[in-house]
Chains A and B, each alone.
Chain A
Amino acid sequence: MAVTLTVSKAGGRGTTIVADTLAGDDLGFDMGQVVNGSYVPNDGDQTNNAGFFPIYAYHNATKDPITEVGTYIDIYPGSYGGANIGGSSQDIADLIAMGDATPGLSANNGTGNERGFWIDHRGRSLVGLGLSRFDPAVAQVRVYGQDYGSGQVGVDLATAIPIHVDAMAYYNTGTMTDATTPVTGVIGKLNDTVHGDTAWMGCRFYLNTAALDGGIMQWAWVWAYSYTA
Chain B
Amino acid sequence: MKPSYRLRWRFDFVNSPSKFGCWNGSSPHFSDSATSVKKEGLVRACIEGEHLQQYATKVLLEMPGHEYKTSQWIRRCNAAPVLSPKINGEIKLQSELMGLALISETHKYTVYVDGTGSVHELPIERRNIKLLEHTAGS
Q: Which residues of A contact B (CB under 8 A)?
A: 1-10, 14, 16-20, 22-23, 26-34, 40-41, 55, 63-65, 67-68, 74, 76-78, 81-82, 117, 157-158, 183-186, 195, 205, 216-229
A2-B25, A20-B88 given as contacts; is B73 within 8 A of A28 (CB)?
A: no
A29 and B79 contact, CB distance less than 8 A: yes
Inter-chain CB contacts under 8 Å: number:
202
Closest 5 pairs (CB-CB, A-B): A28-B80, A19-B92, A18-B89, A229-B71, A221-B79
A20-B89, A77-B80 known; 10 new pairs, CB 8 Å cut-off, are: A7-B90, A8-B91, A27-B92, A28-B78, A157-B1, A184-B125, A226-B73, A226-B75, A226-B101, A227-B72
> Of A67, A76, A224, A229, which contacts B80 at CB under 8 A?
A76
A1-B28, A19-B92 given as contacts; is B79 within 8 A of A64 (CB)?
A: no
> Of A18, A55, A228, which contacts B72 at CB under 8 A?
A228
- List the B side residues contacting A227 at CB < 8 Å: 72-73, 75
- State the interface size on chain B (CB cutoff 8 A): 53
B95: Cβ under 8 A from any A Cβ: yes
Q: Which residue on B lies nearest to A220, using beta carbons?
A: B78
Interface SS of chain B: helix, strand, loop or mixed? mixed
Q: Which residue on A lies nearest to B80, using beta carbons?
A: A28
Complex Cα spacing A218 to B91, Å:
14
Complex Cα spacing A8 to B86, Å:
17
- List the A side residues contacting B100 at CB < 8 Å: 229
The smallest C-beta distance from B38 to any residue of chain A, in angstroms, reads: 15
- List the A side residues contacting B78 at CB < 8 Å: 28, 74, 77, 220-223
B79 and A2 contact, CB distance less than 8 A: no
A229 and B90 contact, CB distance less than 8 A: no
B52: Cβ under 8 A from any A Cβ: no
A6 and B129 contact, CB distance less than 8 A: no
Complex Cα spacing A33 to B86, Å:
7
